[in-house]
C-alpha cells in the first residue's frame, strides 16, 4: 500500500468514530430505566404513575434488556463472521430492532406488562447489543495504535447518552407522556443508526495508520485472531467473563442506591438527585479516562487498580460524613465506567480484533448475569434500606474479581 493511500484511509477513520459515538449515545438509554419506572409504576412516592404493577415488573423489563445485550452482541458478531454481512447491515438491523421495540412499548397497558418485557426488554436489548459491540469492534480495527483510547471514547459516549437522554426524557415525558416518549425514542434510534451505518465499515485487511508500525509482541497481547470457537476452548474467555460479572456487579449494586442512601443520611432530595447526575457524568468520564490509561499501564494492571479503588470507596461509604457520600458514589461511578472502557480492549488483546464483536459478546454474558442479579438484589435491599449489606456484597464482588484478574494471562495461541 502506498503512503498516500495509507494517509487517506487514516483521515477517513475519524468518520467511523464519529458515527460510532452517535450510535453509542442511543445505547445510553439502557441506564435510564429509573426515569421510565417512576412514571409507569404506582408506588407511595409515585401515586400518579400509569400502572398498578408490582415494582418487580419494572425490574424484570430492565433485567431483560441488560441480559439480552449479550444475545444481540453474539448475534451481530456471528452474522459478520463469514464476511458476507457487513457491519453497516448489522447496525441498520440492530437499530430497527431496538427502535421498533421502543415503538411497540408505547402500546403497553395495565393488563399487558408482557408487552413491555418483549418490546423494551427483549427487542431493545437485542438491538442494543448488535450495535454496541459492532461499533466497538469496527473502531478498534481503525485505531490499532490507540485501542484503549478509542474504546474509551466509544463507550463513554454511551455514558454521555445516559445523561443526555435522562434530561430529555424528564423534559418530554410531562408533555407527551411516558408511553409516547418510548415511541419518540424509537424513531430517534432508527434514524441515527440508519444514517450512522453508512460510516461503519471495516478498514482494509492491511490497514495501518500512517507512520505507525505494529509493536513487537508483548506480554498480555496476542498476535493471533482467535475464531470464536477457538476462544471458547480457552479458560481465559470464561475467566474474563466472570471477572467482568463481579467487577460490574460491584458498581451496579451500589450506584442505584445513591439517591435513597443520600436522603437516608440527611441529604436534601434535590442534592441527592443532582448527585445521581454527577455519578452518571463520572461513569461516562471513567470510560474514556481509564481506556486512555490502559494504553500506557496495560489492561490487566488498570483493572487491578480499578478494583482496589472500587472496593475502598464502597467500604468507605459506611463511614464517611454525609458531605462526602456523593463524592464516594462518584468515585464508584468513575471506576465502574472504567471497567466497561477497559474490558473490551482486554478481550481484543487476548483474542485479536477480527472476531472481537462475537467474542466480546460472549464476555458480555457475564455483565448481563451480574446486572440481572444486582437489579433484583438492590430492589429487595432498597425496600428495607439494608445499605451496609449491599455494600458488603459489592465489596466482596470486587475482591473476587481482583483475585481472578491477578491470575489472568493471555491465552496460548495454539488451541488444542
Position 416 pLDDT exceeds 80: no
For 209-218, the CB contacts below 8 A with 24+ separation are 209/6, 209/10, 209/13, 209/143, 209/144, 209/145, 210/3, 210/6, 210/7, 210/10, 212/144, 212/145, 214/144
Distance separating alpha carbons of residues 119 and 401, to the nearest angstrom: 33
Average pLDDT over residues 16-45: 85
What are the pLDDT digits (tens) for 173-203? 999 999 999 999 999 999 999 999 999 998 8
pLDDT above 90 coverage of the chain, percent: 36
Please state, as a whole number, how many other Cβ atoms lie within 10 Å of the Cβ of residue 21: 20
Average pLDDT over residues 322-331: 84
Distance separating alpha carbons of residues 241 and 362, to the nearest angstrom: 7
Distance separating alpha carbons of residues 382 and 29, to the nearest angstrom: 23
Position 411 pLDDT exceeds 80: yes
Please state, as a whole number, how many other Cβ atoms lie within 10 Å of the Cβ of residue 296: 10
What's the pLDDT at 177? 93
Average pLDDT over residues 294-310: 93
pLDDT band per the 50, 70, 90 thresholds, residue 6 = very low
Question: What average pLDDT does the structure give for the chain?
Answer: 85
Average pLDDT over residues 371-380: 80
pLDDT band per the 50, 70, 90 thresholds, residue 216 = low
Among 46, 294, 6, 250, residue whose Cα is nearest residue 155: 294
Residue 216 DSSP label: P
Among 47, 25, 49, residue whose Cα is nearest residue 39: 49
Q: Among 89-103, 136-150, 352-366, name the most confident range.
A: 89-103
Crossing angle between the packed helical segments 269-297 and 147-176, to the nearest 10 degrees: 160
Among 10, 128, 140, residue whose Cα is nearest residue 70: 128
Amino acid at each position: 500500500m502506498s503512503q498516500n493511500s495509507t494517509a487517506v484511509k487514516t483521515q477517513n477513520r475519524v468518520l467511523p468514530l464519529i458515527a460510532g459515538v452517535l450510535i453509542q449515545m442511543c445505547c445510553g438509554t439502557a441506564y435510564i430505566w429509573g426515569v421510565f419506572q417512576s412514571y409507569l409504576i404506582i408506588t407511595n412516592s409515585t401515586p400518579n404513575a400509569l400502572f398498578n404493577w408490582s415494582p418487580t415488573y419494572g425490574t424484570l423489563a430492565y433485567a431483560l434488556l441488560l441480559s439480552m445485550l449479550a444475545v444481540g452482541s453474539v448475534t451481530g458478531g456471528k452474522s459478520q463472521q463469514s464476511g458476507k454481512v457487513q457491519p453497516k447491515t448489522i447496525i441498520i438491523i440492530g437499530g430497527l430492532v431496538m427502535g421498533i421495540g421502543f415503538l411497540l412499548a408505547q402500546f403497553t397497558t395495565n393488563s399487558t406488562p408482557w408487552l413491555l418485557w418483549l418490546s423494551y426488554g427483549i427487542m431493545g436489548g437485542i438491538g442494543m447489543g448488535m450495535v454496541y459491540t459492532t461499533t466497538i469492534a469496527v473502531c478498534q480495527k481503525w485505531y490499532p495504535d490507540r485501542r484503549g483510547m478509542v474504546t474509551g471514547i466509544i463507550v463513554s459516549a454511551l455514558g454521555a447518552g445516559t445523561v443526555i437522554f435522562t434530561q430529555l426524557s424528564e423534559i418530554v415525558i410531562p408533555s407527551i407522556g411516558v408511553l409516547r416518549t418510548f415511541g419518540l425514542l424509537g424513531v430517534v434510534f432508527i434514524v441515527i443508526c440508519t444514517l450512522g451505518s453508512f460510516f461503519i465499515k471495516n478498514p482494509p485487511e492491511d490497514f495501518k495508520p500512517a507512520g505507525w508500525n505494529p509493536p513487537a509482541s508483548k506480554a498480555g497481547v496476542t498476535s493471533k485472531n482467535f475464531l470464536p470457537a477457538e476462544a471458547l476452548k480457552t479458560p481465559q474467555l470464561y475467566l474474563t467473563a466472570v471477572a467482568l460479572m463481579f467487577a460490574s456487579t460491584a458498581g451496579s449494586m451500589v450506584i442505584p442506591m445513591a439517591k435513597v442512601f443520600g436522603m437516608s443520611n440527611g441529604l436534601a432530595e434535590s442534592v441527592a438527585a443532582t448527585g445521581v447526575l454527577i455519578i452518571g457524568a463520572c461513569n461516562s468520564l471513567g470510560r474514556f479516562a481509564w481506556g486512555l490509561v490502559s494504553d500506557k499501564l496495560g489492561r490487566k494492571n488498570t483493572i487491578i487498580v480499578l478494583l482496589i479503588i472500587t472496593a475502598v470507596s464502597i467500604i468507605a461509604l459506611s463511614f464517611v460524613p454525609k458531605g462526602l457520600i456523593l463524592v464516594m458514589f462518584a468515585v464508584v461511578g468513575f471506576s465502574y465506567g472504567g471497567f466497561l472502557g477497559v474490558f473490551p480492549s482486554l478481550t481484543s488483546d487476548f483474542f485479536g480484533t477480527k472476531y472481537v464483536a462475537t467474542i466480546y459478546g460472549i464476555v458480555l454474558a457475564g455483565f448481563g448475569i451480574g446486572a440481572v442479579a444486582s437489579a433484583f438484589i438492590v430492589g429487595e435491599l432498597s425496600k428495607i434500606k439494608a445499605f451496609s449489606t449491599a455494600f458488603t456484597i459489592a465489596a466482596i464482588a470486587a475482591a473476587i474479581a481482583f483475585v481472578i484478574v491477578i491470575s489472568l494471562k493471555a491465552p496460548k495461541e495454539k488451541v488444542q
